[in-house]
A and B are shown apart, each in its own frame.
Chain A
Amino acid sequence: MNGAAYVKKTILLILGTALLLAAPAILPLYWIMITTEVLIMGLFAMGFNLLLGYTGLLSFGQAGFFGVGAYTVALILSHGGTSVLLSLGAAVVVALITAVVIGYLCVRRDEIFFAMITLGFGMMLYTVAHNWVELTGGSDGLPLMMVPPLSFFGCEISLFDPVQMYRFVLVMVIIGIWILWRIVQSPFGLMLTAIRENRERLAFVGANVRQLRLAAFVIAGGVAGLAGGLFGLFNAMATPDIMHWSFSARPVLMTVLGGMGIFFGPMAGAAIYFGLEQMMTHLTQNWMIFLGLALIPVVIYFPKGILGSLVAWKKTVPQKRKKPLP
């Protein structure tokens, strides 16, 4: 990456962050809440992208880790915990541990077998949440009667206010994205991409493919735990629904919509997903059929996703312009 492009990217990022911070002054409250959800689901999908886009592993059990995060937060806060930040930290830790155990068993499998075995483990977690009534509240889930305020050096911020909640989620998501960015840019991140490109060659040069994959799986699980914890705080609930395989399909959808293997692709995908949903549910009650009809051309004609195709298109345009006229 050359210097000019780097400066341009940094400026874009700072501008984007500033815009998001200023959003409550511009957007109506409802759209602030939708943006909060886009940020949470986008972070979830960005972690997932480390698996699908960078490492080439399709996990169908990510909702399990998302749910583990949400339940950890809900359990701590409903059993007398008062620190939101500590509960989020615990959500990440528990999700990481779960991901180590499940990942250890799964990363030896490939492609559809990896997808199915992660689906299997994800659904076992779902069953635990659904049936261990004493701990998890069973099918009803755990409603959070109240979210305690954040305390920073003596001043308290009430997360009951949706705008404050939005700002809090934004900060947490930026931290999550920053960590992911550092990982992707590190030598480890480059090795992951190499796994996707050619596993045999990487193994040949002495890299432990299994360990690399496990590391990617665990990081994606931890990010899912953080996103799930934020989801639990924002919606004041943890329910088994968010651990079902159909919920695992959401990050897949968002990642492919936005662009696999493109860093911000899944975030764009999340925004497109929620935008589409808002538009369609507004227009029709038969939104499922329209969502399906909209998805078909995207999958067929935009293999790089919407953001991916945009990036590719931007790259080709200046070159065409530079071509001298015949």
Chain B
Amino acid sequence: MKMNKRLPVVFVAILLMGLVFAPLAPAATPVKIGFVYIMSGPFSAYGQFAKKGAELAVAEINAAGGINGHPVEAYFEDSTGKPDVAIRAFRKLVFQEKVNYLIGLDSSGVAKTVVPSIPQMKTPLIITHAATPDVTGSVCNRYVFRISVNLAQNVKAASLLAAETGATTWTTVGPDYAFGHQSWEYFEKYLKAIKPGMTFLPKDEVAFPPFKTTDFSPYINKVMQSKADGVLVSLWGGNLIDFVRQGKEMGLFNGKKQILITLGAAVEVLGALKDKMPEGLWVGTRYWFLANDSARNTAFVKAYHDRYGEYPSYNAHGAYGAVYTYKAAAEKAGSIDKEKIIDALEGLTVELPVGKITIRPEDHQALTDACWGKTAADPAYPIRVLKPIKIFKAADVTPSVTDAGCKK
């Protein structure tokens, strides 16, 4: 009986309180973040990974009170992996959706051609996947940052590993576009400096299969017939899956040659190959979910696995980390203003699941550790895992600012 009498009073009280507080606490203006990844077509797996990571970060941040009190809203656009579509997507996000910050880009070629147009939009962009050294090198500018491991860092780690393998003559199998060619050029440059006396096969004796290749046997044959005892493989995605299966059939992985696969520890590749992935190959990646047991990483892997039922790929980590990087920059700046955020991003140190990263103010490349490991079976996981894991410190693998060649 008492309850019934009290109920209207409580109701009125709540209403009054609402009236009093409503003008005091207006719904905070949201911080809008625009994401541009490959969302459709053959490579949409990468965009879907990024979207999962981004949505997890946004949900976590909103549950904890947003960025500087502003709730976060995410906008996703499809680059389709083509530069003109990607630039249109950026225009839409900036001019139509009026986003505060941008995150994205899978393809290196797209990144390199789109980056010079970002200053026109006066909005910061954090790149999380595209690895071309140029976006924090020859075409760098005030508005573009990258928090993921770039090609130079990854390949520098590869050459440090290569120096210890005992192989003395090196060849490569890489996709026939800038990424494959650059991987080989950087590898040669770094390994020569680390360990003089190494031989590298000339460019017409190494293998650069076109991107559309499905039959790698001629290239595998070429590598097996060559006098090289070490092979740098920079294929990725479906190309890498086909290469590994066909190479296994033809006996490429029988131990005669040392093999380093720069993007072999990607979960979409390991997940497709499962136990068909040979054991004992050196594989690299930008983020490996078992690489460190910091509280930050453990929490991320658990939250991601609980939400999606799978382990986070490096692309999921990239988008996730970029959202948190903006959060940290906004807190450091005490503002969500675009230009102030850029100033705050320069030199910012933030702890991400991958570890502590610091954004170099001179070229906007993050100093982040590079991860390599040897493939191994583990009954606890459905896919091959890395054992042992080798972490290369950022300071050891990142080229100097002068070498990066950024003139902002």
What A residues does B116 contact at CB under 8 A?
Answer: 143-146, 236-237
B115 in contact with A30 (CB, 8 Å): no
User: How distant is the Cα of A138 from the Cα of B180 in the complex, in angstroms?
Assistant: 12
A171 at the interface (CB under 8 A from B): no
B95 in contact with A288 (CB, 8 Å): no
B176 nearest CB across to chain A (Å): 8
A288 in contact with B40 (CB, 8 Å): yes
A164 at the interface (CB under 8 A from B): no
User: How distant is the Cα of A182 from the Cα of B92 in the complex, in angstroms?
Assistant: 37
A33 in contact with B95 (CB, 8 Å): yes
One digit per residue, 1 when the CB lies within 8 angstroms of any chain B CB and 0 when it does not, for chain A 282-300 equals: 0001111000000000000
Contact of A143 with B88 at beta-carbon distance under 8 Å, contacts A29-B95, A287-B40, A288-B41 already known: no
Q: Pick the residue among B40, B87, B91, B181 that contacts A138 (CB under 8 A).
A: B181
Across the A-B interface, how many residue pairs have beta carbons closer than 8 Å? 83
A138 in contact with B96 (CB, 8 Å): no
B39 in contact with A140 (CB, 8 Å): no
Give A237's nearest chain B residue, CB to CB. Answer: B113
User: How distant is the Cα of A138 from the Cα of B113 in the complex, in angstroms?
Assistant: 12
Contact of A143 with B139 at beta-carbon distance under 8 Å, contacts A160-B120, A239-B83 already known: yes
Contact of A237 with B83 at beta-carbon distance under 8 Å, contacts A138-B177, A139-B178, A160-B120 already known: yes
A133 in contact with B181 (CB, 8 Å): yes
Contact of A285 with B84 at beta-carbon distance under 8 Å, contacts A33-B91, A160-B120, A236-B116 already known: no
Q: Give the contacts of A272-326 with B (CB-CB under 8 A).
A: 281, 285-288
User: How distant is the Cα of A30 from the Cα of B87 in the complex, in angstroms?
Assistant: 12
One digit per residue, 1 when the CB lies within 8 angstroms of any chain B CB and 0 when it does not, for chain A 34-71 equals: 10010000000000000000000000000000000000
Q: Pick the residue among B78, B82, B84, B115 that contacts A143 (CB under 8 A).
A: B115
A235 in contact with B83 (CB, 8 Å): yes
What A residues does B114 contact at CB under 8 A?
Answer: 143, 237
Q: Give the contacts of B74-104 with A (CB-CB under 8 A).
A: 77-78, 82-84, 87-88, 91-92, 95-96
Q: Pick the residue among A29, A143, A231, A287 that contacts B112 (CB under 8 A).
A: A143
A323 nearest CB across to chain B (Å): 49
Interface residue total, chain A, C-beta cutoff 8 A: 32
B387 nearest CB across to chain A (Å): 35
Q: Give the contacts of A231-256 with B (CB-CB under 8 A).
A: 231, 235-237, 239, 241-242
B298 at the interface (CB under 8 A from A): no
One digit per residue, 1 when the CB lies within 8 angstroms of any chain B CB and 0 when it does not, for chain A 1-38 equals: 00000000000000000000000000011100110010
Give A244's nearest chain B residue, CB to CB. Answer: B82
B132 at the interface (CB under 8 A from A): yes
Give A246's nearest chain B residue, CB to CB. Answer: B82
B114 nearest CB across to chain A (Å): 8
B294 at the interface (CB under 8 A from A): no
User: How distant is the Cα of A142 from the Cα of B178 in the complex, in angstroms?
Assistant: 12
The 6 closest A-B pairs by CB, nearest first: A139-B177, A30-B96, A237-B113, A30-B95, A140-B112, A29-B95
For this complex, 28 residue pairs linking A to B, each with C-beta atoms less than 8 Å apart, are: A29-B96, A33-B91, A33-B95, A34-B88, A37-B88, A138-B177, A139-B178, A140-B109, A140-B113, A140-B134, A140-B177, A141-B113, A143-B112, A143-B113, A143-B139, A236-B113, A237-B83, A237-B84, A237-B87, A237-B117, A239-B113, A242-B84, A281-B78, A285-B39, A285-B78, A286-B40, A288-B40, A288-B41
- B binding-site residues for A, Cβ under 8 Å: 39-41, 44, 77-78, 82-84, 87-88, 91-92, 95-96, 108-109, 112-117, 120, 132, 134, 139, 176-179, 181
